[in-house]
């Protein structure tokens, strides 16, 4: 988990310091877990990939430390900060076979800078779009929707038209991709709950962005993309007395922060999900805690029925939109925080 130049207001992994990540740190982590893993895949980031100056060496190191049949993948993520500054970066990405890089907008320049938590973020995105296209990589645009940003989505549409992104992507032989969604209501994103998108906002999404979004998610209606109203989910969950063991069903995908604290990727890298510290507890104890639902959040989910979570933390009147699983995770995180405060 090296670092990130941004402090996005929707950030589900939360804001943390940007620690220095050395080669020996990565080797230590990989070797600690290797005896317990049939296959191991190592990444040096879960925030902005390639933000560190030694990104090429780190990529090679992650490949070396991963099992030969499970090497790290690239996905659609890359460092926008670096694309705008490092002339060697886009050609390097192209050489790895990257087709798309995702860029995140929240509306116009001021709003995008504000929600990304960094002045100049929007200008970096504009530069990144040109650099990517010059190198035969397509920009994939995502825009986050909430009560504030929905008012400015027309500016995202205008930008796509002004920069002729459909045509320019076509000229490099890659279809243009774009989508809007609300993100997940956890980590820093939970603070956006007061301005969370509601069903009344969906009609404000410009037609063209809605069309791209349906194509991207292969859905028939924009409502299907954004999920259901909280009040509807509340009515369903208030009758639900099930619990779930997350640790016994989830694959072991772990976040390890700069201080070697370990959390599972089924939750947010924060206190309620903490499994232990790799330096002081060791891998075996951490994996036992994962499997045995011992992190506080896993324990709550395994022992407290959904109806209790929603009764204590849900809003039966709210028209905010959530996918079912995202809503359960939001309830779980709120419940854990309330318990910790009591
Ligand atoms: S959302 Fe991604 S880019 Fe933004 S602060 Fe979090 S990790 Fe960084």
Range with lowest mean pLDDT among 3-17, 87-101, 161-175: 3-17
Question: Does ligand 1 lie within 6 Å of residue 7's CB atom?
Answer: yes
User: In the predicted model, what is the mean pLDDT of the chain?
Assistant: 94
Question: Does ligand 1 lie within 6 Å of residue 103's CB atom?
Answer: no
101/316 Cα distance (integer angstroms): 39
Is-contact 99 174, C-beta < 8 A? yes
pLDDT of residue 250: 60
> Separation of 46 CA from ligand 1 center, angstroms?
9
> Separation of 182 CA from ligand 1 center, angstroms?
15
DSSP string, 1-15: ----S---TT-TT--
How many other CB atoms are found less than 10 A from the CB of residue 335? Answer: 21
96/169 Cα distance (integer angstroms): 19
Nearest CA to ligand 1 atom 1: 11
44/257 Cα distance (integer angstroms): 10
From 115, 118, 122, select the one nearest 149 (Cα to Cα). 115
**Given pLDDT bands bounded at 50, 70 and 90, which one contains residue 1?**
low
Is-contact 98 137, C-beta < 8 A? yes
Nearest-10 crossing angle of helices 55-65, 23-33? 20
Mean per-residue pLDDT, 310-323: 98
> Separation of 119 CA from ligand 1 center, angstroms?
14
Quote the tokens at residue 121. Answer: 């973020």
From 253, 252, 256, select the one nearest 28 (Cα to Cα). 256
Atom of ligand 1 nearest to the CA of 188: 6
What's the CA angle centered on 220, arms 214 and 222, to 5 degrees? 60
Q: Which residue has the higher pLDDT, 208 or 4?
A: 208
pLDDT of residue 299: 96
Is-contact 277 259, C-beta < 8 A? yes
Q: Is the pLDDT of residue 249 over 80?
A: no
23/187 Cα distance (integer angstroms): 28
3-class secondary structure, 240: coil
CATH class of 1-226: alpha beta
Burial category of 242 from C-beta neighbours within 10 Å (exposed 0-12, middle 13-18, buried 19 and up) = exposed
> Separation of 236 CA from ligand 1 center, angstroms?
33
Question: Does ligand 1 lie within 6 Å of residue 104's CB atom?
Answer: no
Is-contact 2 51, C-beta < 8 A? yes
pLDDT per residue as tens digits for the range 128-167: 999 999 999 999 999 999 999 999 999 999 999 999 999 9
Nearest CA to ligand 1 atom 2: 47
Question: Does ligand 1 lie within 6 Å of residue 6's CB atom?
Answer: yes
Is-contact 9 192, C-beta < 8 A? yes
182/141 Cα distance (integer angstroms): 14
> Separation of 4 CA from ligand 1 center, angstroms?
6
DSSP string, 31-59: HHHGGG-SS----S-SSSTT-STTHHHHH
Question: Does ligand 1 lie within 6 Å of residue 237's CB atom?
Answer: no
Instruction: Write the CA distances from 157 to 99, 161, 262, integer angstroms.
Output: 22, 6, 40
pLDDT of residue 341: 80
Nearest CA to ligand 1 atom 6: 11
> Separation of 11 CA from ligand 1 center, angstroms?
5
pTM: 0.93
Quote the tokens at residue 114. Answer: 């504000």
Instruction: Write the CA distances from 8 to 4, 13, 15, 164, 339, integer angstroms.
Output: 10, 10, 8, 27, 27
From 9, 331, 7, 47, select the one nearest 192 (Cα to Cα). 9
Domain ranges of the chain: 1-226
pLDDT per residue as tens digits for the range 35-88: 999 999 999 987 889 988 999 999 999 999 999 999 999 999 999 999 999 999
Pairing of strands 321-322, 254-256: unpaired
> Separation of 83 CA from ligand 1 center, angstroms?
16
179: β partners = 142
């Amino acid at each position: 988990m090296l670092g990130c130049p941004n402090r996005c207001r929707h950030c589900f992994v939360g804001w943390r310091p940007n620690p220095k990540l050395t080669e020996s740190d990565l080797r230590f982590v990989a070797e600690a877990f290797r005896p317990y893993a049939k296959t191991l895949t190592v990444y040096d980031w879960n925030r902005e990939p390639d933000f560190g100056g030694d990104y090429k060496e780190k990529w090679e190191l992650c490949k070396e430390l991963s099992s030969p049949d499970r090497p790290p993948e690239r996905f659609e993520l890359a460092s926008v900060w670096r694309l705008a500054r490092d002339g060697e970066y886009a050609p390097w990405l192209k050489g790895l076979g990257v087709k798309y890089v995702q860029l995140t907008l929240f509306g116009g320049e001021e709003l995008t800078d504000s929600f990304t938590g960094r002045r100049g973020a929007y200008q970096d995105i504009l530069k990144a779009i040109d650099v990517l296209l010059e190198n035969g990589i397509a920009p994939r645009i995502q825009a986050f929707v909430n009560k504030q940003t929905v008012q400015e989505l027309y500016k995202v549409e205008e930008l796509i038209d002004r920069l002729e992104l459909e045509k320019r992507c076509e000229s490099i032989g890659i279809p243009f991709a774009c989508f809007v969604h609300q993100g997940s209501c956890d980590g820093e994103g939970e603070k956006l709950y007061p301005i969370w998108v509601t069903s009344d906002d969906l009609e404000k999404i410009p037609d063209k962005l809605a069309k791209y979004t349906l194509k991207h998610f292969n859905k028939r209606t924009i409502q299907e993309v954004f999920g259901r109203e909280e009040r509807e989910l509340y009515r369903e969950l208030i009758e639900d007395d099930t619990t779930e063991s997350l640790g016994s069903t989830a694959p072991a995908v772990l976040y390890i922060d700069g201080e070697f604290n370990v959390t599972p990727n089924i939750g947010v890298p924060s206190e309620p999900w903490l499994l232990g510290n790799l330096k002081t507890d060791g891998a075996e104890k951490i994996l036992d805690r994962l499997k045995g639902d011992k992190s506080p959040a896993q324990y709550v989910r395994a022992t407290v029925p959904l109806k209790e979570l929603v009764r204590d933390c849900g809003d039966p009147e709210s028209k905010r939109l959530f996918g079912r699983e995202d809503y359960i995770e939001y309830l779980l995180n709120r419940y854990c925080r309330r318990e910790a405060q009591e």
